[in-house]
Structure formats: structure tokens, C-alpha cells
């Protein structure tokens, strides 16, 4: 047989077997890789919510604004430092909480929404995103909003809400029927919307309180694990917005005032951790925690200046809430991984545009 194979040029039986096995293995790897890409791209589950579909929806609602963030599109870079009080060191081994430690911070204030040239209004949600640069290449990136609870509990509800709240071109306001249907399907969002509406809106970025909304976990050096939500509380006494503030000529009055105030001197906030107890909802950002929860004042954030967005500064940072140092860990909140994936998709698209 083998002599015949040699004479005809055909491979011997064992070689043919090995060849077939090798081809089968290559085929399996190729099929696996294709299935992996198909799964990641959502082709195997056309109904599933993927990061691309979330960002497509932002684009559908807000139109195309190449190069800008798909949400919180209008922003200004800020810089400063964080000085730790030491009160966080017993709950978290993160180096930035060691008493007296000064950590450089680069951040971004912004207004929620996907319209980079929209006029400032008091009612628009304000945000403060921060990037703490720690030793050993560690970082903490966080983004906080000036609302006490978030509007939705799940990424799917966020996706639905984006469309339900889309302004009707005829009226400039969301279609009330669609909005009512959304709240009927999501009673937790209706409750959260009432809490958000009841908050005191202050005159500017400088006297606003910002909430992390999502829960995290503080991990101590001895392994103790404490649920926590973060808040940035301004040192400045908050003044409620003044009537008619937004009918001013300056369509960027919130940003312009902040930039002017920062030229006068540093603005300070206290980074406060609210410590959860067993049973407090960590996977539902629409629900506040009971008001009597223990808090720890972790230290002072001092913002010392601002710079317009440009290449290489906060414009090119993805404030991914899952970039965490040792000592701060994610909770079971489903919004965290959804945010991380959506921010990355938004970043990838805008980074590839002019
Ligand atoms: C599933 C829910 C959410 C989705 C899909 C979503 C989506 C987005 C996207 C696409 C961006 C722009 C990111 C970039 O291009 O860099 C963004 C920015 C931002 N989001 Fe969310 N978001 C969600 C929930 C939240 C929550 C719960 C908070 C809580 C505070 C939050 C706070 C912020 C802040 C502060 C920014 C601005 C960051 C910056 O200035 O760069 N978001 N969001």
C-alpha cells in the first residue's frame, strides 16, 4: 500500500489522517472565531442590546455631530487635585485615600445630551467627570451627575427612554403619549423622575452637588467589603437658580461663569462616600438609600482652572466608570458594564471622526 502511495504521489494513510485532523482543527478554530465575532457583534441575537445599538440610538435621537461625545457632548476641561482626609483609609486600600495624599486630577464638566451646540439651560443635567492619576499607573475615572438618582434601572430601559424622550420636531418637546407609556412600563423610572424634578437646581456648576448614582464597593486592606455611593458636595453654599437665568444672551452662561470663577481662584468639593448596609439596593440606581446611612468625608477636590476641549486634553479621555484602582470595585449594578461598553463605542466612533 505505502509503496503504491509512494509511486502515485498520494500520501500514506497515517499522513492523510494527520492532514485531515489538522484541517478539521483549523476549521474548528475558524468557525469558533467567526461565531465569536458574530456573537460579539450581536448577529446571533438580533434583538439583543449591543453597545453599537445604544450609540446608534443616540445618533438617531440627536443627529450626527462628528467628533463629539454621543452624550454629554458639550463640555469644558478642568484640572486640579484631590487631598485625602484619611477617613477613607479604613474602608479602602486605594492609595488616594491615605491621609494627606495629594492626587492630581483632570476632569470635564458637561451638560447631558448629545447636542454639542445647544444653549445652556438650568434644567439640563450637569456632570463632573474626574480622572485621578495614582502612583504605579493606577487611575480612578468617575463621572457624576447633579441628580440624586438615575432615571432608569437597566440598560434596556435606558435605550427605550432615549426614544421616548426624543423631542418632537413640531413642539420641541417629547411626545407625551410615548413618555406616559414609558413610565407606565417602568414605574421605578416614574418615581425617580419625581425625585429628580423635586431637587433644588442651583445657579451654576460651582455650587452643584454631583452624585455617582451607581453603587461601588470599597475594599479595605483586611478584605472588608463595603457598598458605597459617592457624592461631590460643594464647599460653596448652594444658591437656587434665579428666575430668567437662561434667557440671557450668553448661550454658554453656565460654562462661561465657571471658567470666570476658576480664574478668580480654586473651587472646592468634598468627596463623600455614603456607606450602604446589607439590603440597600446596589443594583438599582433609581432608588435612593435611606437618609440615615453613615457617610465618610474622604477628602477635598480643588479645581484650579479650565481649558476648552482640544486634542490631547479631556476631549480625548473616556471617563469609563470601570477604570478603578485597587480598593474600589464595581457593584452588581447592570448599568456599570453597560456604561463602560457604550462609552467605549462612543469613544471609538468619535476618535475616528474629524
Ligand atoms: C446605561 C446607561 C448609560 C448610558 C448608555 C450612558 C451613555 C453615555 C455616553 C455614550 C457618554 C459619552 C461617553 C464618551 O464618548 O466619552 C456618556 C457620558 C457621561 N455619562 Fe453616561 N450613560 C449611562 C448612564 C450614566 C449614569 C448612571 C451616570 C451617572 C453619573 C452617567 C454619567 C455620565 C457622565 C458624567 C458623562 C460625561 C463624561 C464626560 O464628561 O466625558 N451616565 N454617557
Kindly report, residue by residue over 254-297, the tens digit of the pLDDT: 999 999 999 999 999 999 999 999 999 999 999 999 999 999 99
Tell me which of 52, 68, 72 to substitute to probe ligand 1's pocket, judged by most ligand atoms within 8 Å of the beta carbon. 72
Q: How far is the CA of 235 from the centre of ligand 1 (A)?
A: 25
Taking only the tens place, the pLDDT of each residue in 169-217 is 889 899 999 999 999 999 999 999 999 999 999 999 999 999 999 999 9
CA 69 – CA 75 distance, rounded (Å): 9
Cell numbers representing residue 8 in the block:
502515485
Q: Which atom of ligand 1 is nearest to the CA of 58?
A: 10
Q: At what angle do helices 51-62 and 155-164 cross, to 10 degrees?
A: 20
- pLDDT value for 2: 43
Answer whether 71 contacts ligand 1 (Cβ < 6 A): yes
- pLDDT value for 164: 98
Answer whether 272 contacts ligand 1 (Cβ < 6 A): no
- pLDDT value for 174: 95
* Residue located via cell numbers 454639542: 116
Q: How far is the CA of 67 from the centre of ligand 1 (A)?
A: 16
Q: Which atom of ligand 1 is nearest to the CA of 343?
A: 13
Q: Is 150 exposed, middle or buried (0-12, 13-18, 19+ CB in 10 A)?
A: buried
- pLDDT value for 328: 98
User: Which regions in the chain score pLDDT beneath 50?
Assistant: 1-8
**Closest residue (by CA) to atom 4 of ligand 1?**
339
Tell me which of 343, 348, 349, 350 to substitute to probe ligand 1's pocket, judged by most ligand atoms within 8 Å of the beta carbon. 343
Catalytic residue among 17, 72, 186, 270: 72
Q: How far is the CA of 60 from the centre of ligand 1 (A)?
A: 17
Q: How far is the CA of 142 from the centre of ligand 1 (A)?
A: 10
Residue of 202, 257, 210 lying closest to 229 (CA atoms): 210
Q: How far is the CA of 71 from the centre of ligand 1 (A)?
A: 6
Answer whether 88 contacts ligand 1 (Cβ < 6 A): no
- pLDDT value for 172: 87
Answer whether 110 contacts ligand 1 (Cβ < 6 A): yes
- pLDDT value for 41: 56
CA 107 – CA 76 distance, rounded (Å): 9
Residue 72 bears catalytic tag: yes
**Closest residue (by CA) to atom 15 of ligand 1?**
69
Q: Who contacts 201 (Cβ-Cβ below 8 Å, separation ≥6)?
A: 122, 123, 146, 240, 241
Q: How far is the CA of 343 from the centre of ligand 1 (A)?
A: 7
Amino acid at each position: 500500500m505505502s509503496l503504491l502511495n509512494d509511486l502515485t504521489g498520494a500520501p500514506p494513510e497515517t499522513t492523510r489522517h494527520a492532514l485531515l485532523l489538522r484541517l478539521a482543527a483549523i476549521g474548528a478554530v475558524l468557525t469558533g472565531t467567526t461565531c465569536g465575532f458574530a456573537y460579539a457583534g450581536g448577529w446571533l441575537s438580533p434583538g439583543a442590546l449591543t453597545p453599537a445599538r445604544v450609540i446608534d440610538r443616540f445618533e438617531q435621537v440627536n443627529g450626527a455631530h462628528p467628533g463629539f461625545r454621543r452624550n454629554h457632548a458639550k463640555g469644558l476641561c478642568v484640572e486640579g487635585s484631590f487631598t485625602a482626609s484619611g477617613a477613607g483609609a479604613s474602608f479602602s486600600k486605594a492609595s488616594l485615600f491615605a491621609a494627606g495624599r495629594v492626587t492630581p486630577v483632570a476632569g470635564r464638566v458637561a451638560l447631558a445630551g448629545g447636542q454639542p451646540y445647544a444653549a445652556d439651560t438650568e434644567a439640563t443635567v450637569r456632570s463632573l467627570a474626574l480622572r485621578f492619576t495614582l502612583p504605579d499607573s493606577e487611575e480612578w475615572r468617575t463621572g457624576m451627575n447633579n441628580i440624586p438618582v438615575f432615571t432608569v434601572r437597566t440598560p434596556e430601559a435606558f435605550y427605550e427612554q432615549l426614544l421616548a424622550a426624543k423631542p418632537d420636531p413640531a413642539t420641541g418637546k417629547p411626545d407625551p403619549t410615548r413618555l406616559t407609556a414609558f413610565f407606565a412600563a417602568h414605574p421605578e423610572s416614574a418615581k425617580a423622575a419625581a425625585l429628580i424634578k423635586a431637587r433644588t437646581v442651583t445657579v451654576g456648576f460651582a455650587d452643584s452637588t454631583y452624585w455617582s448614582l451607581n453603587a461601588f464597593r470599597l475594599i479595605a486592606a483586611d478584605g472588608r467589603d463595603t457598598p458605597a455611593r459617592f457624592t461631590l458636595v460643594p464647599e460653596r453654599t448652594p444658591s437656587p437658580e434665579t428666575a430668567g437665568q437662561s434667557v440671557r444672551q450668553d448661550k454658554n452662561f453656565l460654562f462661561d461663569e465657571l471658567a470666570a470663577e476658576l480664574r478668580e481662584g480654586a473651587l472646592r468639593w468634598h468627596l463623600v462616600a455614603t456607606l450602604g448596609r446589607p439590603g440597600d439596593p446596589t443594583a438599582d440606581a433609581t432608588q435612593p438609600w435611606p437618609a440615615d446611612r453613615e457617610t465618610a468625608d474622604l477628602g477635598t477636590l480643588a479645581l484650579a482652572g479650565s481649558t476648552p476641549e482640544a486634542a490631547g486634553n479631556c476631549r480625548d479621555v473616556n471617563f469609563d466608570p470601570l477604570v478603578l484602582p485597587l480598593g474600589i470595585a464595581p457593584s452588581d449594578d447592570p448599568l456599570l458594564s453597560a456604561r463602560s461598553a457604550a462609552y467605549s463605542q462612543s469613544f471609538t466612533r468619535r476618535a475616528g471622526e474629524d
